[in-house]
Amino acid sequence: MTYLLRRLAFYLFTAWAALTINFFIPRMIPGDPVKSLISRYQGQLSTDAIKSLYVLFGLDSHDSIWDQYVDYWKQLFHGDLGLSFTAFPAPVSDMIGDALPWTLALVGITTLVSFALGTGLGVLAGWRRGSWMDGLLPATTFLSSVPYFWLGLVAIAVLAGPGSFFPSSGGYEPGLVPALDTIFLGSAVQHSLLPAATILISSMSGWILSMRNMMVTVAAEDYITVAHAKGLPERRVALNYAARNALLPNVAGFALSLGFIVGGTLLVEIVFSYPGLGFLLFRAVGAKDYPLMQGIFLVITFSVLVANLLADVAYLLLDPRTRKEG
């Protein structure tokens, strides 16, 4: 328990550091949002308009940096991440709120499925070492080294196109109103098939490889020989003795990848113009939309931290050796 509290304190500190950095970085970048708006409207803004913009963005005050910092924290606790420049005056929190479910659904589900499938196949391949499954390993190595945006591009070129079942971009049929009905959900699923498949194919092979290798390592341990000598059923030796131990390193990797779900598989979302967080970040960077970028980074930071915390808890549950004290 003390261990978990210590970890929690550590993550709180990390979160504070990340937020503080998030506060200072935009202030160190030359220029400000109003100037970039001015340049966007190419001098068509009146002085009054400019002045009111400064007020709107909260850049009019000549508060000390400390006061600004305190305000920043106050805003954060109200869930206020500021206003977007590009979709002005939409609040950043709303934009993120719109994009997040798409990413969570697509990348979240594919990550879970790919971990479960990959680990399962890895256990099989590692346990039946020397069988035909070893023949699949070069293929998985190849697939795991293929960047998935490239796989996505190939998938679009080959499978999508006019008249194809697979749409090449977007999250749902243009013209549909997002609602929880069958037509919209069906369209969303149809749009997610290709991106999901590309993510699955390229990320699953990594899990297969690492799990298989851990299985092979663990299978040489003495306690596996003992388990065989005990005359336990093959399945029990494979799952309770070998896989149970081989899983430990993979769990850490899985928790990390959970953290990156929110960041979205940026490139896949770009390739498929998928309305998730990754695509939003891409557009924010393109438009120099600092508040939006800041907000997205914040969300990603938090999800990575939470995922790490989950990894710690999972480890604590799975490996008794980490539970040092009662």
Partner 1 sequence: MSEPVLEIRKLCVDYGLGDEAVHAVRDVDLTLHRGEVLGLAGESGSGKSTLAYGLTRLLPPPGVISGGEVIYHPVDGPPVDVLSLSPARLRDFRWAETSIVFQGAMNSLNPVHKVSTQLLDVIRAHEPGTTRAARLARARDLLRLVGIAADRLDSYPHQLSGGMRQRVMIAMALALEPQVVIMDEPTTALDVVMQRQILGQLAELRERLGFAVLFITHDLSLLVEFSDRIAIMYGGRIVEEAPAGELYRRALHPYTDGLLHSFPALRGPRRELTGIPGSPPDLRAMPTGCAFHPRCPRAFTPCDAELPLLGPPGDDDPGRAVACWLHPAAAAVPR
Minimum distance, C-beta of residue 159 to partner 1, in the bound complex (Å): 43
Rounded CA-CA distance 206/216 in Å is 16
Minimum distance, C-beta of residue 223 to partner 1, in the bound complex (Å): 5
Nearer to partner 1 by Cβ, of 97 and 233: the residue is 233
Interacting residue ranges for partner 1, rule: CB under 8 A: 130, 220-223, 225-233, 236, 240-241, 244-245, 248, 318-321
* Preceding amide of 33 cis, omega within 30: no
Minimum distance, C-beta of residue 119 to partner 1, in the bound complex (Å): 16
Minimum distance, C-beta of residue 320 to partner 1, in the bound complex (Å): 4
Minimum distance, C-beta of residue 251 to partner 1, in the bound complex (Å): 12
Nearer to partner 1 by Cβ, of 203 and 245: the residue is 245
Minimum distance, C-beta of residue 252 to partner 1, in the bound complex (Å): 15
Helix 290-318 vs helix 92-103: crossing angle, to nearest 10: 40
CB proximity list for 116: less than 8 A, separation 6 or greater: none
Strand partners, 37: none
3-state helix, strand, coil in the chain (%, to 5): 75, 0, 25
One-letter amino acid at 266 equals: L
The token duo for 87 is 């979709």
Nearer to partner 1 by Cβ, of 48 and 325: the residue is 325
Nearer to partner 1 by Cβ, of 169 and 213: the residue is 213
Q: Which residue has the tokens 């995922």?
A: 307
Nearer to partner 1 by Cβ, of 226 and 313: the residue is 226
* Preceding amide of 320 cis, omega within 30: no
Smallest Cα–Cα separation from 97: which of 267, 276, 258?
276
Q: Which residue has the tokens 């399945």?
A: 235
Nearer to partner 1 by Cβ, of 40 and 128: the residue is 128
CA triplet 265, 267, 268: central angle to 5 degrees?
Answer: 70
